[in-house]
Amino acid sequence: MIIKAEQKYIRMSPQKLRDVAYLAKKIKNPALLITQLEFVHKKAASPLSKVIKQAIANAKNNKGINPDSLEIREIQIGEGPRIKRFRAGTSGRVKPILKRTSHIRVVLETKEEVKGVKDGTKG
């Protein structure tokens, strides 16, 4: 079963979030990933761990799935809209500032054990 959680319009650039998500790419257990993110000294670790906790809560409360039987299928960091601001430059000119936003999407799935089938062949 697939469980999704999404957080939109986070006021942080997608590049900073992708750096932390890349560190978390090899860890499939969501509970272990949350504890690992507590020790990452980057601001992007906090919103990422919140979305993972949200996905676990969705599985537990809405679907009645045991959190121990979950694994991470994908973590996707998308680019949100840019907030455009301006700053005064020299000689009365204007310098643009782009404040970037991000969307985080976490997809979890249950570990399903297939019984009686080995190597994709029947019989």
> Cα-flanking dihedrals φ and ψ of residue 42, to 5°?
-140, 145
What is the distance between the alpha carbons of residues 36 and 30, in angstroms, rounded to a whole number? Answer: 10
Q: What is the pTM of this model?
A: 0.83
Give per-residue pLDDT as tens, 99-114.
Answer: 999 999 999 999 874 3
pLDDT reported for residue 80? 96
Q: Is 90 helix (H, G, I), strand (E, B) or coil?
A: helix
Homologous superfamily (CATH) of 2-110 is Ribosomal protein L22/L17 (3.90.470.10)
The encoded tokens of residue 59 equal 């599985």
The residue ranges of every structural domain in the chain are 2-110
